[in-house]
Amino acid sequence: MTARPHIFQFDNSYARDLPGFYVAWEGAKVPAPNLVLFNRDLAAELNLDAKLLETPEGAEIFAGVRQPDGATPLAQVYAGHQFGGFSPQLGDGRALLLGEIIDKAGNRKDIQLKGSGPTPFSRGGDGKAVVGPVLREYILAEAMHALGIPTTRALAAVTTGETIYRDGPKPGAVLTRVAASHLRVGTFQYFAARGETDKLRQLSDYAIARHAPDLAGQSDRYLQLFRGVVERQASLMAKWVLVGFVHGVMNTDNTTISGETIDYGPCAFIDAYDPAAVFSSIDHGGRYAFGRQPVIMQWNLARLAETLLPLIQPDDPDHAVELASTELARFPDLYRSDWLTGMRSKTGLQTEAEDDPDLFETMLAALQEQSVDYTLFFRHLADAAMGAPEKLRDLFADPEQIDVWLQRWRKRLENEGKAPVEIKAEMDGVNPIYIPRNHLVEDALQSAETGEYLLINKLLEVLQSPYEDRSDLEAYALPAPAAFGPYRTFCGT
């Protein structure tokens, strides 16, 4: 008799290497698992056989009711600062790490179910997820990936046949998420808050093995681990801000060590440019507003630094603080440098000039004052580079303000010594025309809640090629109609 091939070739390092960092747990039973979205491209990258997963058995696995061979499902423990206040005990309250697999490129990936039922960390929550937020995370994560932004991915979404009560009855659902790891700043905070330095060292060495293997065995590896996280997160923040993404709930438990975007809850893309933009219904103080994200990330990284101090210089706390502070202090310049490089590309410039910051700030001030659509601005700017500024000017109620800026920008472009077509092609290659606009996401989600997946599948397809203008997709490039009104998002519970 030949053995049935395993669907996942699990190699579960977290379960194996970190006992005491999780609780072994299983998914809750649900009545009717139904696979509604499956990411074939990602499955191929992960060396998974779609034929075995796009099946009733696959739906049961993705709903958490059937344990695939080799899985060691577990709920991870972590803590976290939520809106600035410390919660010493969070953990996976509605998620299970099924295990890890090695993808085609040789990278280790977590396979996690989100919404698979209560765990010992549910803190009174039901451990479930509902279809709207599950599909929102699916759309946003895949859109971010297509935009070249480090992110967790979405492999599958199932509905469970359960009715879950939120602000009314909702269809239950589970998301299968793929991540470079689920190590969070909050994971480190959990053990630091308990004074468990040995466990913190174990966790740090595990993080090094996964995210900075070259550091293994080096005497200053914990400081270097921190340095790497600072660099990855500075780069990530620049990418978020350049594309107009608002995460919405940048708590330290939603801040990864890998540098991937994680936990898409009340997130959204800005339409009109506004550093104060907040979409989350619970972010009353604007703590996680669009323009505050880099500052908040630096604050979150300071919390990570605090946890690592006893490892960085066990015998000399003052020196440890000094070393960690020096690394943390690099963040603003790292961020700024990435942002400036990115903004140069977005405006068709490659050569640096001393007045770049002022050039971009003047441009953004005009966008902000006249509530101009951030995404469309850069696409139309590429047309202006070709000598056709009409569409760009039409975005402004008072175009004179941008005319003055355009003159200044054109002078800079001339110094680039490139043909206008070349500049336009380069600009269009970095400025998306299709982003997950809030009204499009809402339409797709509302339709999916009634069991109709046409809109969401179309939207996912459009967002897979965000830079390539397709004439039949004009509606996907447009801002929300006025009737859509101000947008509010709700935490993905």
Residue 140 in 3-state DSSP?
Answer: helix
Residue 26 is given by DSSP the state -
Contacts of 231 (CB under 8 A, 6+ apart): 330, 334
Cα–Cα distance measured from residue 225 to residue 204, given in angstroms and rounded to the nearest whole number:
8
Q: Which is nearer to ligand AMP, 425 or 491 (CB)?
A: 491
Print the binding letters for residues 263-302 with ligand AMP: x by CB under 6 A, - otherwise. Answer: x-x-------------------------------------
Contact of residue 492 among ligand AMP, Mg ion, none (CB under 5-8 Å per partner type): ligand AMP
Locate 365 and state its tokens. Answer: 């001030």
Candidates 110, 126, 142, 162; binder of ligand AMP (CB under 6 A) is 126
Q: Which is nearer to ligand AMP, 35 or 249 (CB)?
A: 249
Q: Which is nearer to ligand AMP, 8 or 264 (CB)?
A: 264
Alpha helices by DSSP H, 72-196: 131-146, 185-193
Site for ligand AMP in 34-93 (CB under 6 A): 90-93
Q: Cβ of 191: how many Cβ atoms within 10 Å?
A: 23
Q: Which is nearer to ligand AMP, 173 or 334 (CB)?
A: 173
Catalytic residue of the set 253, 271, 283, 373: 253
Contact of residue 342 among Mg ion, ligand AMP, none (CB under 5-8 Å per partner type): none
Cβ atoms of residues 71 and 98 within 8 Å: yes
Contacts of 165 (CB under 8 A, 6+ apart): none
263 belongs to the binding site for Mg ion (CB under 5 A): yes
Locate 296 and state its tokens. Answer: 């908040």
Q: Which is nearer to ligand AMP, 42 or 249 (CB)?
A: 249
389 belongs to the binding site for ligand AMP (CB under 6 A): no
Q: Is 238 exposed, middle or buried (0-12, 13-18, 19+ CB in 10 A)?
A: buried
Contact of residue 286 among ligand AMP, Mg ion, none (CB under 5-8 Å per partner type): none
Cα–Cα distance measured from residue 394 to residue 33, given in angstroms and rounded to the nearest whole number:
49
The kind and range of the H/E element at 207 are helix 197-211
For the chain, how many residues are written?
A: 493
Taking the complex as a whole, the smallest distance from the CB of residue 95 to Mg ion amounts, in Å, to 9
Choices 122-130, 187-195, 234-242, 443-451; region in contact with ligand AMP by CB under 6 A: 122-130
Contact of residue 265 among ligand AMP, Mg ion, none (CB under 5-8 Å per partner type): ligand AMP
Taking the complex as a whole, the smallest distance from the CB of residue 249 to Mg ion amounts, in Å, to 7
Contact of residue 43 among ligand AMP, Mg ion, none (CB under 5-8 Å per partner type): none
User: Could you tell me which of 379, 399, 365 has the C-alpha nearest to residue 291?
Assistant: 365
Choices 126-134, 272-280, 335-343, 424-432; region in contact with ligand AMP by CB under 6 A: 126-134
Residue 228 in 3-state DSSP?
Answer: helix
Locate 428 and state its tokens. Answer: 């269009």
Residue type, 171: P
Q: Is 253 a catalytic residue?
A: yes
The residues carrying an active-site annotation are 253
Binding site for ligand AMP (CB under 6 A): 90-94, 121-122, 125-128, 249, 253-254, 263, 265, 491-493
Query: Applying CB under 5 A, which residues contact Mg ion?
Result: 254, 263
